Structure 1
């Protein structure tokens, strides 16, 4: 039996925009709006209007989560649901009532509620009016929203996270066109990355000013960490991997934990004349408002090689001028999703945090595999036999266990996701949950992996 530390979090993660539906929401976020104007961009033209109906079925859904042994669940508070007026941060009473009921139900069922404040769901009004995360005014408005969340729910929620995967906002909105507004602008991407770091630090500053630590609460950030493995040990490939890591991982990780940006990254962006605009006051806020705890989302590794084209070629600036993707021959794949399966990376992350990032308290905040047409695996009892998911989780947990045994300060594992949820442009193409969801009837059924994780949670380990 591989045993895990006492009080280990066995849980799962979802988000407000992916589970709740748009019921009774006064404002649209960027994905709500994108679906309104370009529904054909979404798989099956399925948008976030209903999602997994969590807004209406949260009592039954949380009961199902309890039934499969989850002791902690992360979701998010939607800015567009909670706040009526973004400038003054006045609240929507229905939104307050809803989140109070959800938090209370989690606690009633013996599940620790873990709350994120932003999960790719910027209010679209703030993009159209100010340029969204390009604007430092929006940074201020986010800090106001965060403060309102702490005041309203901080008596019961003790585990807070400012952002989920801020790097994805940078990549999706400003570089690689998979989030609205689908801009390609390297200079804006750099400024947005800075502003997101600043927004997180300002939310932490408010957290401290409100005395949340005195209420036994902690605050962190959720980062998608993808170790950049070079294609070879040649000087050129190693350099490409180093720059990829600086941009993809360390720009948020080092800043969140040490309060300052990686020196080599600042040098590179300065040399390339794309460095962000900052002030001494802002840098001081970053320095003095670091995280208590870290969430790590890990799905697949990043493999890179030296670029085929010289980085100083004439072209608009993007960070990947310094590296190309490398497809390793013989790699294991989840073909449905197009992602490599490499569980050992979770061990490498654990040791990197131990050795280079103060051995900060951390947990696996997302891990999982999306598979399409899971009805292929229905048995005669109506249960999806997702042995592939069980095997995937076990392999990752084995490597995580090794990292913990070697001293990495990991306290939990959350699968993405408890119940099959709406997944941005992919909608319901791939399913990730311990619990299946028939999106036409909203009937939810525990999968084989759900029964399996119940035993893992009960035993605090597995054979």
Structure 2
């Protein structure tokens, strides 16, 4: 196992490192991020059709606190207030997602919902009026329910055509002002949690050896189709760029043994190579082909032509890291994890955890991991990178007074540590162009409902959804306004 002191010394890691805005290039973008289903609400307003998350969250037992996103934090009615908050805190950019079923209520692309177009036009225009650049995600998990019920959603190859029509419509409607597009957010989570573990919508676990890989396959091709449309029809006139957002825990080998190092490399293939390899090399990583065989779909020659070089940038969502060791018998967990033959652990050799634990059981504060994963992506897939999500959660509490909930000291430490590591990665030569904190607001945290709070801004669920910036929001505001000197002391 890894010895903590030796590892941190060898990796030049100072846990109390200071960080300043001056540690980043002058044109580096700092933003905050959200997603439509987690914040909008207004589920039956403005012509919006139902999504798979509307259906999934209303099934008893799927959401830990029996909640849903029908109202969420009511961004649908309060977007001006929220955009004012982004401006006051001093962020350059706002990453948000468009709800497919607000544009096409049935997902089919036959009739545009003008009210949905107006809603997102209003958001985009309000951002630009305040000098905030919109970074828009086309798909953040909320597939129109009609597509799932009538054709199997991501399991049907026809979904590629429907997504292409949807993307085309968004480029045509918003691309004169939106210059940074992301097609699909975390396709890994849709594939594994939607079609294997079933803890996310659509909640399927019927054929876990086939369906996750089919859903992933169609998401990759849908991304490539959307990029192809943008480049052929819009790029020359609009001048924007299109990327995909992948998520990755850093996988650190648990020892110097070759089998543990191979397991860590395999773990990265199954997370990030699954989606980036096809877009760079025209096929899945060899380690996936070896373990999955014919369960992994094949790309035709035509598919490969569509896929190659269909990326202007990589969006990386990163929260935490794990130690990885090789196992041959992995009895626990679902098929996706078993087939990797890679055991994930969170302890150093002496038994101490890899970092402080946040609220979610999977999330530990491991700042050095983001530097490693950024270097890995840069070395294996040479494209500009945006850190499109990074953050941590607190447990919701009915008993703590508001002032204690707002004083989120661990989140401040988290952002300081992770931003210092991003700055180190840039010094290593990694082409990182921007960083988006997750999340602007406390919100509907998928299967965890409203029990976990990721926001820089506290939302009071008991008192009219009022917004209250936390200590981390004020820290970020000072950081962005160069309110820390080189020694990291607040002025």
TM-score band by shorter chain is over 0.9
More deviation in 451-460 or 59-68? 451-460
Could you list the runs of 5+ residues in structure 1 that have no partner in the other structure? none
Kindly provide the CA deviation profile for residues 97-148 of structure 1, in whole angstroms up to 9, marking residues without a partner as x: 1111111111111111110000011112211211111111011100110000
Quick check: 2:458–2:470 contact (8 Å CA) kept in 1?
A: yes
TM-fit CA distance, 1:266: 5.5
Q: Which residue of 2 aligns with 1:323?
A: 342
Q: Is the alpha carbon distance of 1:369 and 1:88 closer, same or farther for their aligned partners in structure 2, counting shifts above 3 Å?
A: closer
Quick check: 2:181–2:243 contact (8 Å CA) kept in 1?
A: yes
Quick check: 2:273–2:285 contact (8 Å CA) kept in 1?
A: no
Alignment of 1:24-423 (within 5 A): 24=45, 25-36=47-58, 38-184=59-205, 185-256=208-279, 258-265=280-287, 267-269=289-291, 272-287=293-308, 289-309=309-329, 318=336, 320-321=338-339, 322-328=341-347, 329-331=351-353, 332-338=355-361, 339-358=363-382, 360-373=383-396, 376=400, 378-379=402-403, 384-423=406-445
Quick check: 2:330–2:338 contact (8 Å CA) kept in 1?
A: no
Q: Is the alpha carbon distance of 1:109 and 1:23 closer, same or farther for their aligned partners in structure 2, counting shifts above 3 Å?
A: farther
Quick check: 1:8–1:460 contact (8 Å CA) kept in 2?
A: no
Quick check: 2:330–2:343 contact (8 Å CA) kept in 1?
A: no
Runs ≥4 in structure 1, deviation > 6 angstroms?
A: none
Question: Distance in 2 between the 1:456 and 1:318 partners?
Answer: 40
Give the alignment's TM-score, normalised by structure 2: 0.87
Q: Secondary structure at the match of 1:95?
A: helix
TM-fit CA distance, 1:215: 1.8
Q: Secondary structure at the match of 2:85?
A: helix
RMSD: 2.2
Q: Which residue of 1 aligns with 2:449?
A: 427
Question: Distance in 2 between the 1:310 and 1:47 partners?
Answer: 34
Could you list the runs of 5+ residues in structure 2 that have no partner in the other structure? 1-18
Question: Distance in 1 between the 2:364 and 2:334 partners?
Answer: 30
Q: Secondary structure at the match of 1:125?
A: helix
Give the alignment's TM-score, normalised by structure 1: 0.92
Q: In the comparison of the two structures, how many residue pairs are matched? A: 453
